[in-house]
Structures are given as structure tokens and as C-alpha cells.
Structure 1
Amino acid sequence: MQYHIDHLDKQTLIDLYLGMLKPRMIEEKMLILLRQGKISKWFSGIGQEAISVGVTMALKKEEYILPMHRNLGVFTTREIPLYRLFAQWQGKQSGFTQGRDRSFHFGTQEYRIVGMISHLGPQLGVADGIALADMIRRKKRVTAVFTGEGATSEGDFHEALNVASVWNLPVLFCIENNGYGLSTPTNEQYNCEHLADRAKGYGIESRIIDGNNIIEVFTKVDELCKSLRKRPRPVLLEFKTFRMRGHEEASGTKYVPEKLMKKWAKKDPISNFEAYLKEQELITEKEIEEFRVTISKEIETNLNKAFEEQSVIANTKKETKDIYKAFEYEDSKPKGETKNIRFVDAVSEGLEQSMDKYNELIIMGQDIAEYGGVFKITEGFTIKFGRSRVRNTPICESAIVSAAMGLSINGMKAIVEMQFADFVSSGFNPIVNYLAKVHYRWNEKADVVIRMPCGGGVGAGPFHSQTNEAWFTKVPGLKVVYPAFPSDAKGLLATAINDPNPVLFFEHKGLYRSVYQDVPTEYYTLPFGQASVLQEGEALTVVSYGAGIHWALEILKKHPHIEADVLDLRTLQPLDFESIFTSVKKTGKLMILQEDTLFGGVASDISATVMENCFEFLDAPIKRVGSLDTPVPFAKNLEDNFLPKQRFETVLLELYDY
């Protein structure tokens, strides 16, 4: 192995050596503990230390790095206290996830590290968002993100590279090409000679680096970082290396040819560099032994501290509380004049006023800049706020949701407009597995609002008409808002943007230009979790939201003898069960109307919860009315039959007469 150490002083060379030695010694200890049953799982990076250490040492401490399973050297190079790492791996309270996640599935703002999730790909888009925030603030920083050769087959990899290329983001995409994705060799993972060649398709630079040569890794990455700080742009790095142990220890390495193992064993990054340093008389055998003794003592001291800590104690109240970042609602009362405007105008006003309030609020979405979005909600925003804050995106929902997460990690607020709520399926993974879980896992907020133009009744067919709120009300960590009136839309949108937690904000496009209301012209907020009682009566209770509220009011108007309580939920997570219980206890009858398909919808949970809490007050079976359990059809007669409006009237009369 050739080392070109020009311009590197002795201390830097020793630091690079010690940087690799410490994670190697920790790993060797972890393998012993694994066999003793004192830790449950281990993903080994033995043989790959040069990449983690070299990249991390080339970055400044204030620059974010997003590592993977085998990047222990990132954590040790950033000098994270070892007892906290050991406590993390043992599921102890002083670990970074307080026992809620394992291995390297965590992040820490203190050390500017953002850990991976098992789905791998989304963190590449998160790196885009972190870098975007730095670029908007004109901070000359680099973000480095790791992935393996297997994960380069994921769509998130390609989306993230494309976004970084289009926006010229200073991101180092680091591929650790270590030969195998679990047991699948590279020749079954991709059909090109070098993964670095993929950069050409995105118009970005790439480098191939010997991932076992610590000097080559450090010097080339250091040179690139200095260049990217001056001229921001993405670069794809392919580190050629090898995984000397199994994907995780239980999987073993029997599928690897013995000859290949021996070949790479000769390329061990630590033994080779150690031999070189001794040959150059930069280090002695005695010094090496002293280093090992010092590191060994550090490991044992911190291990004992972690072992002595008691097991984490389950506390249901704390567990449920920590799903969300604490948010103290600030009640900004509507005041001043009002103006009779459409639903779509109220949303636009709410967005604009929040953009005025937060100068680091970024809106991203397809065609939202000069074009103003397909519904013209952001029309004129680029003139007022500029294209750095109102950003057209490529058609890659997953990477953009992940980028929004990155903006939040780097201290900004983000709004993502799904062109249609149906398209959220392409960004589903980062919403339900990253945004929703991040605060519970390692106490990091996801300050992201995802706007969801939704709903049927406009002849848009199966792919532009879904009202898919139940996909998200099921997921702990998300908040779901679904207003029916312009004034609610504006006030609740302001609250959603203030809230540091992820919010899915549903806007029924059939209401955009058909519903008018007197709406305060100034900024105001409305609280989550409070239903609105639209009319009162003793006969029965009707609960709905979105377009369903308008259908219910219209049909009740045709039957004035049915005096009903009508509750507009407004928010579905949190959901105002207390108002529902109060009404049901008064009327004794409940029907729930949703536009969503009936099975598995919000109405089912409301029905079950009322049965559990108000059974003795019910004078009739609870009735649920929803759309047919089919895709949304296009032709008007078919769509009218699909939607629940006509069935609602039939069931309403049946329940009233019960």
C-alpha cells in the first residue's frame, strides 16, 4: 500500500492512526461481549476504519455527517463519550435513544451526527436538506453522508443525487463499496464497473478512492472539502473496501470465497499503516503498546460505567409524551377587519403571513415557484420571498420530504406541497419512518408541514381524488389537520407551521373555490384538538370533517325536523374525543361521516372509542358512512355512487327513526 504523506505532519499521521485504532479495539471488545451475551447485535466495520476516520477528520466539527452501521470511527473521531455509546448499545437510559433504538440508529446535535434508519435511503435526502440550509444561509460548509453499495439501488439514492445536482448542494455522497449487501455480491447489485460512473448521469463529479488507505482517504476528502466550501456542489465518492465480517455477526461469512477474504486481509488499513509508520520511524513498538493500554483502559472504564447503570425503566406517561416535541400553543386571536374569501385564498394568505413571520421558512414542491402551483396558492410568492425560499422541485417526493427533514435538523422550518395528496405514496417512507419517529428516537424535532390537496367530487379519477388521511392517523408521531372552512384553514395552518412536529395538512380541493367565508385579514392561530360545534340539537350527533361537513349540513337542511349536533373535527390527530363524548351523552345517537373509504378509516376508531366510553348512553347502534371500498372512479355517475353523500341521507333518516 502506497502512502503519500506530503504536507502532513507527524502529529496528523499519528492522529489518523489512533483514530483507526480506537474503533478497532472497541469492535474487538464488542465481539467478545456479543459472544458472552452482554450485547444483542453487532454490525462490524472491521477493515473499513480508514473511511470513517479519514472522512470525519477532513470535516470541520460544525459540519454535519450522516453515518451508517459500520462507521464507528465517525463517532469516536467526533469524541463522543464512550460510556454513552456503550449505554446506547445496551439499551440504557444514558444512551442517545434511551433504550428506544439500537446500534447506530441515533443522532446527536451536540456532535453534528445524524444517524441512519434501517431503510437506508432517506438519509441521503436528509443530507441534501442540511446542505440546503447551509447554502441559503451562505455558510461555507460541507455535509457528508454515507451509504453502502447495496443502497445505491434504492430510488432515494438517485433522487438525492438528482436534487443535489439541480441545486448545487455541497454534499459528499460517500459509498462504502464493501463487496456485499448482506450476502448478495456486487455483481448481483449493479451492472456497471464502478458506482462512481453513475455520477455522470446526474452531471456531478465523482472520485474512486482506496477505502483502505487512510492517507488517500483523508487527503483527497480534505482537498474536496476545501474546494466545496469555496464552490458548493455535490461529489460522489466510491470507496473501494471490503467487509471482513458478516452483515451482522449472526450471518457469518461462509458465502464469501476464502481466497477473497485472504486478499483483503492483506489490505487491512490499520496493520498496513502501522507498519508504514514504524518503517518511517514515526512511531515505535513501545509507543504502540502504550497507545493500546491507554485505549484499553478507556474502554474498560466506560464499559463498567455503562454496565453499572440500571436497566431502563418503562414509564408509559413518558413514552407517550416523548412521541412529540413539547409545543406550547400561542393563541393569536383574530382581530381587525375580515374579508369574504375562498378556501384557496385563506390557505394562500396563511402561508404568506407565516412566510413573513419566519424568514427561514422554506416552501418546496412541484411547480410552486413562478407558476404558483397547480392550484395557484403560491402565485406571486417568488417575487416577494425569492426562489431560495420558494423552491420548485424535481418530481421526487421521497427526497424532498427527506430534504425537509434535513432543513429542520439544521434549524429551519419546511413546508412541502404534495401536488396532489395521492402522490404522497411516493414519499411515504420518510414521512412514517423518519419524520414520525425522529423525536421519540433521539429527541430531534421534525419541523415540517406537508400540504395535501385531496378529495373527490371533481371528476379527477383514481390518482387525483383520494382522501388518504387514515394512512397517517395510524402513525404515532404525526399530526393530521383537515379543515372544512376558510377561517379554520388559515388559523390551523398558522398553528401547523408554528408547531415543531410533523403535520399532514389536508386541503380538500373541491372546497378550494366553492366555499367562501368571512376570514380575518391579519395573522391568527387556532388550537389543535378542538372540534367545532356547528349546530346543536337533541336528536342525534353527526361527526365529520372536510367536505363531509358540508354534505351533512346540506342534507340536514333538507330535514329541518332532525335537530342534530354537528361536530366538525378540524384535526384528526389530536382528535377531540371529549366533545364527541359530551354530545353523544346528550343525544344518545351517533353517526360518523367520512369521505375516505369506509374500512379502516377514522370513523372506525371514533366508533370503537365511543363504544368503549359511552356505551350506556347509546340508544341506537353507531352508524358509519364512508365511500365505497373501491378506487375513486372518474365518470360522474360512478363517482357520485362512490362518494357517501347520498348514503348519508338514507342512514341519517334510519338512525333518526330508530
Structure 2
Amino acid sequence: MTIEYKNNTLSEDVLLDLFRSMLKPRMIEEKMLILLRQGKISKWFSGIGQEAISVGVTKSLLDDEYILPMHRNLGVFTSRNIPLNRLFAQWQGKASGFTNGRDRSFHFGIQEYKIVGMISHLGPQLGVADGISLANKLRNEKRITAVFTGEGGTSEGDFHEALNIASVWDLPVLFCIENNGYGLSTPTSEQYRCRDLAERGAGYGMESHIIDGNNILEVFSRVSEIAESIRNNPRPALIEFKTFRMRGHEEASGTKYVPQDLMDEWEAKDPIFNFEKYLFEKDILNEAILTGIKNDIQAEIEENLQSAFRENPVDVDPSKELGDVFKEFKYQEISPSIKKEELRFIDAISQSLKESLRKHDELVFMGQDIADYGGVFKITEGFIEEFGKDRIRNTPICESAVIGAAMGLSINGMKAMVEMQFSDFVSSGFNPIVNYLAKINYRWGQNADVVVRMPCGGGVGAGPFHSQTNEAWFTKVPGLKVVYPAFPYDAKGLLNTAFNDPNPVLFFEHKALYRSVRQEVPVDYYTLPFGKASKLREGSEITIITYGAGVHWAMEILDEMDYKGADLIDLRSLQPLDLECICLSVNRTGKAIVLTEDSLTGSFASEISALISEKCFKSLDAPIMRVGSLDTPIPFAQQLEDQYLPKQRFRMKLQDLIEY
């Protein structure tokens, strides 16, 4: 045998179970490759030769411990005994699969089996594993989380961010690297320079291990030992499994780039062939037992495959597709009290955060400098005295993994708030927001109970990297809710609703309003609905539509001009949008001007303008006007910033529209 097996403790039943558990995904794969050639499935990512890792790791975990596999980890799914008819239906895009035909292969999760599938961007799931483990740790549950990546994925920033967070927070995560030699066609010699990827653990103060990924006994025994140790002494561990990818990255890729002698070497190390030979030598397996195991697996495959084939194609129903973008949220109106106090915008935000922490015991805040320091704007100052550092968590500077961790908290039944220190920095966490949080409910029915707070906007001389108002990056992404209040009263009520909503909410807070705008605000907890605009002024000649700082600019200019003919609409919520309010006003006034602080091209003002043109065309007596900032980055010098911002251009455009 090419592989040396050592067993001092495992019973014959356990050994046979490990063999059967490896053989099952191998036989399923062999069938899938036939179906792929027949055109009955569209794509396949083969894990042939790597079964010992998937099976050994999964068998080492408790059934209620989460595992986050990749697309070569079929053995994870079969070892958790997921019904094969549903797996086969998933690969055919049928409704009884796990994504209603909306995603393919292994891009799905199943809460019932504590499996969270990958997305094609690979890296974000590492941060998700951090969040899942953080929830376990906060509940004092002795549970670990295992997450897979390939050697290629270790070059992604998400890998390093996730390891750093896990190490700093002592999270019980097993980071499992399947080092299978190639990232598509790129060999490891062109991917990293360290001798072993396990060496990277030292850079994070993390223990690391190297395991023969083709030796099922070594995988199962050593991972079981490591896992039990981590349950009792929470900490992360990095495990590098040495293995090889025997087929192409996916079947269309082939393996022509792999030297034949290397293929021959690893074929001799086949985990199933070698273990089968070992069991024969130990008189644990014989031809009769082997034939029986194979027949049972083959019968299970055929029965469930025919069940999936018999199922009709997925129904096409636009209302169902649209209805599943968000998890259902039944808004609860909580009316404000009569008693009020004057609050600044920033105080209203802070008050809402405290009230929501008291209301939701499972809510966790994460962000840079938000604990002892209270955040750069001092919004969370003093919070750790009441809520503690477990719930008010300083994070390393790694936006992507922190957002991933927020997603993991939601998967494990908690709520999360992530504070972007400045909304500009969300670009470092863009991928998990638009590709993970936004799509996950639509893909497999898992909601993202996450609020991302976005201090934004110009007018404070902060320059190109601390002044953007970037809501348009997100208003076009299905699955995200975008809220942008202009007043303390609205900010408090809408933020309370954001924490009640089980869907991802990006909550924009204009920095220039933090300490400049005051208002009488109810002292008690209350909520305001999303998708309901506020009519601030009534007129019959022109409709002004705006949000954020634009609301205050519009009021100031209307006062200066002493113009009484405008309907002034504060949208408050951009997604969902109160289109009814807009159309009712425009159909009455016949003129519309849309004001945004964002640079004009591609702004949300353009979307509103298009909607008005489509819905209210017959009522229009003038062209729809759009006013936004210049199509440049935001400059620092006051004179340049004043020129960049749209306030004075709005005055001129409004006058033009009045005179049209």
C-alpha cells in the first residue's frame, strides 16, 4: 500500500462506516460524470481522490456543528445523510432541490443539516465561519465550526482577514485547506512561496497542522482529537490537507496541464483503493461485504436519481421569484410617546442603538474603535459599560471578514450591526454585501439579519475618501434595503425598524447632519415604516424629490426664494421606494426635480427620473430635472467642495423649472 494506516482505537464498525462513507460520494460522482456527458446535468466539479478529507472532517464533527464546504466536498453532504433525491434535483435545477432552481451544484445551505454552502467568490465563507463560531462562543456552547478552502483561496484577502479575526477573538474554527496542487491550471509553485500553507498559521498566532488528506484514518483521528481540544479550549486551528485533484477544475477544463508522472503518483495514493486494500488485509472487508455495500449504494443512487428525473421542470412564476428576494417582514407599528426631548441627529442614532440592544438580547455590534473609544463620531461612547465587550466589539481593519462574520451570526440565529467607520470604506467589504447578504434569502431561504451603518456625505472638508455618498452602489442590488433619513425623529424610528427587519439594511447617516440638525424626538422606543416618504411642504406647481442633506438644502433654498409652490418630498427610504407618493405629487404638479448629493451620472436620481417618465409622462408639463454633484471625486478644499456639491446648481435648476 502507498498509504500507511495506523489504528489502535477504532472499531471494525467505525472502519467500515468510514469506507462506506467514502465510497458513496465516489460512486455518485462516477454516475454524475456519465450524466454530464449525456447532457443531463450542466456542470460538475469533481472531488475524486479527495473523499477522505470531506468524510473524515465531517465524521469528526458533532451533528449540530456547522460545516462550510466547497464544490469538491460531496462527502460532506452525503456524510450528513442529506436525501439523495434532493441533491440530484438540485443538480438538475428542479424545485425539490435546495434553491428552487436558482443556483447550481453546491451553492446552497441547509439549516437542518448545519451545512452552509459556498459562493463562487470563495473567500467570504471564511468570515461567515467566524460569525457562526462567535455565536456559539457567546452562548457558551462547546461547538466548533469547520470551513473549507483550497490552496488557491488562501491568496484571497478574505482568508487572511478571517484568520486574523478568529485568532484575535479566540474563535473555535477549523480552517481546512485542501491543498490539491492546482488552482484551475495554476500550480502551487505559482501561487505561494512558503513551503507549507500551514506555516501561515504562525503569522496569526494560530496553531497549525499538516495532515495526509488521502489517509482517512489520519484525517478522522487527528481532526477528532483537534476538534475535541478546541471545544474545551476555544481557539482556531489551521489544517493543511495534502491531496491532489485528479480531474479538471471542472470537467470542461481537463488535466492536460498536469505532468503524467504526477498523475500516476497520486493515482497510486487513491484514498478509497488503499483503504479498501487495508481492510481486506485486516479481514474486515471481503468480496461479499464489498459487493453488498456497492449494491446498496448503487440501488440508492438509481432510486433517487429516477425520482429526480420524474420531477417536472421548475415552475416559472415572477411573483414567487420577486417574493423570495427578501424574507417576509411584518412591520409592527410602535407609536411614539407624547414625551419628547430635543436631540441632535447623532443623539437620535445613539438612542436607537441603545434601545435596540436592550430589545434584542442576541444583537451584536461590530466595528472599528466602537468599544472603549466609542467610535470616531462617539455614537457608541459608554456602551460597553452597559452592554459589555462581547456585544460591542472592536474589530481589526478588515471590512470584508467582519461583514462575513455578521452573516455568520445571522445564520446561527443572532442579529448583527456593522459600523463602517466611513461609508467610503464599504468598498473593502463590497463583495460579501452584494454577493452574499443580498442573494442568500433568494438562493436558499436563509435571511441576513444584518444592519450596516454608513456614515456618509460631504460638506465637511474630508476629501475623496471620507465624503462619498454611495447609496447608488446598493440601490440597484436586489435583496438589499437602503434607508437614508434626514431628521433625528426619522433616524431613530427607521433605525429601530432596521433592527427588527430580518433582512440586510444599509443605513446611511449623513455626517454633516450629526451635530447640525436638532429636533424634538420621543424619549421612548418607536418605529417608522420603510418605503414611506415624508411630505414636508405642500404646493401645486413643482415636486421636489430628495433625501439626506438634500432635504435641508431644498428647505433652505425654498425659504431664501420665498417660494411656496413646491411639494417637498423626503424619501427617507430608497429601497423600498415610495413610488406612490412620488407619482401622486407629480401627477398633480406636472413638474419634477430630483436632488441628490451623489455625483449625477448613475445616481439614484436617474432611477427616480426614469420612473417618473414611465409612470407620469402624460402629466408632465416640463422636462424632469436632475441635480447632483459633479462627476468627479470629492475634493478637499472648501471652494472646490462647494463647487462639487449640487446646492447652488439646485437653486438655478429650480428657478429654470419654475419659469419653464
Shorter-normalised TM range: over 0.9
C-alpha distance in structure 1 between counterparts of 2:268 and 2:96, whole Å: 39
Residue 316 of structure 2 is matched in structure 1 by: 314
Code of the aligned partner of 1:398:
S
Code of the aligned partner of 1:505:
F
C-alpha distance in structure 2 between counterparts of 1:553 and 1:561, whole Å: 10
What SS does the aligned partner of 1:500 have? coil
Residue 65 of structure 1 is matched in structure 2 by: 67
Code of the aligned partner of 1:348:
S
Residue 33 of structure 1 is matched in structure 2 by: 35
Residue 326 of structure 2 is matched in structure 1 by: 324
Q: Where do residues 607-618 of structure 1 align in structure 2 (5 Å cutoff)? A: 607-618=609-620
Residue 55 of structure 1 is matched in structure 2 by: 57
Deviation at 1:562, TM superposition (A): 4.0
Residue 439 of structure 1 is matched in structure 2 by: 441
Count of aligned positions: 658
Residue 422 of structure 2 is matched in structure 1 by: 420
Structure 1 residue runs of 4 or more that deviate by more than 4 Å after TM superposition: none
C-alpha distance in structure 2 between counterparts of 1:407 and 1:5, whole Å: 38
Matched, 1:495 2:497: yes
What SS does the aligned partner of 1:651 have? helix
What SS does the aligned partner of 2:148 have? strand
C-alpha distance in structure 1 between counterparts of 2:292 and 2:284, whole Å: 15
Residue 463 of structure 2 is matched in structure 1 by: 461
C-alpha distance in structure 2 between counterparts of 1:225 and 1:256, whole Å: 35
> Mean Cα displacement is larger for which, 259-268 or 330-339?
330-339
Give the conservation status (yes or no) of the 8 Å contact 1:83–1:306: yes
Code of the aligned partner of 1:419:
Q
What SS does the aligned partner of 2:512 have? coil
Q: Where do residues 77-96 of structure 1 align in structure 2 (5 Å cutoff)? A: 77-96=79-98
Deviation at 1:344, TM superposition (A): 0.1
Deviation per CA, 1:14-40, whole angstroms, max 9, x where unpaired? Answer: 110001000000000000101111111
Code of the aligned partner of 2:224:
D
C-alpha distance in structure 2 between counterparts of 1:520 and 1:182, whole Å: 59
C-alpha distance in structure 2 between counterparts of 1:335 and 1:94, whole Å: 48
Percent of matched pairs sharing the same residue: 69
C-alpha distance in structure 2 between counterparts of 1:377 and 1:285, whole Å: 70
Matched, 1:529 2:531: yes
Match of 2:602 among 600, 603, 620: 600
Deviation at 1:237, TM superposition (A): 0.3
What SS does the aligned partner of 2:535 have? strand
Match of 1:169 among 168, 171, 178: 171
Deviation per CA, 1:583-607, whole angstroms, max 9, x where unpaired? Answer: 0011000000000000011111111
Residue 510 of structure 1 is matched in structure 2 by: 512
C-alpha distance in structure 2 between counterparts of 1:82 and 1:621, whole Å: 59
What SS does the aligned partner of 2:93 have? coil
C-alpha distance in structure 2 between counterparts of 1:205 and 1:495, whole Å: 42
Deviation per CA, 1:184-208, whole angstroms, max 9, x where unpaired? Answer: 0000011111000000100000000
Residue 239 of structure 2 is matched in structure 1 by: 237
C-alpha distance in structure 2 between counterparts of 1:134 and 1:562, whole Å: 58
Give the conservation status (yes or no) of the 8 Å contact 1:585–1:614: yes
Residue 219 of structure 2 is matched in structure 1 by: 217
Code of the aligned partner of 1:564:
A
Residue 540 of structure 1 is matched in structure 2 by: 542
Q: Where do residues 208-357 of structure 1 align in structure 2 (5 Å cutoff)? A: 208-357=210-359
Deviation at 1:5, TM superposition (A): 1.2
Match of 1:100 among 98, 102, 105: 102
Code of the aligned partner of 1:23:
P
C-alpha distance in structure 2 between counterparts of 1:5 and 1:105, whole Å: 36
Cα RMSD for the two superposed structures: 0.5
C-alpha distance in structure 2 between counterparts of 1:4 and 1:258, whole Å: 30
What SS does the aligned partner of 2:177 have? strand
Residue 206 of structure 1 is matched in structure 2 by: 208
Code of the aligned partner of 2:267:
A
C-alpha distance in structure 2 between counterparts of 1:239 and 1:122, whole Å: 21
C-alpha distance in structure 2 between counterparts of 1:158 and 1:139, whole Å: 26
Match of 2:453 among 451, 454, 463: 451
Matched, 1:569 2:589: no
Code of the aligned partner of 2:453:
R
Q: Structure 2 regions of 5+ residues with no counterpart? A: none
Q: Structure 1 regions of 5+ residues with no counterpart? A: none
Deviation at 1:463, TM superposition (A): 0.2
Q: Report the TM-score when normalising by structure 2.
A: 0.99
Matched, 1:143 2:148: no
Code of the aligned partner of 2:346:
V
Give the conservation status (yes or no) of the 8 Å contact 1:562–1:656: no
Give the conservation status (yes or no) of the 8 Å contact 1:171–1:233: yes
Deviation per CA, 1:464-485, whole angstroms, max 9, x where unpaired? Answer: 0000000000100000000000
Deviation at 1:382, TM superposition (A): 0.4
What SS does the aligned partner of 2:455 have? strand
Deviation at 1:73, TM superposition (A): 0.1
Match of 1:397 among 378, 396, 399: 399
Deviation at 1:561, TM superposition (A): 3.5
C-alpha distance in structure 2 between counterparts of 1:31 and 1:586, whole Å: 63
Deviation at 1:623, TM superposition (A): 0.2
Matched, 1:549 2:551: yes
Q: Report the TM-score when normalising by structure 1.
A: 1.00
Match of 2:372 among 351, 370, 373: 370
Deviation per CA, 1:487-521, whole angstroms, max 9, x where unpaired? Answer: 00000000001000000000000000000000001
Deviation at 1:336, TM superposition (A): 3.5
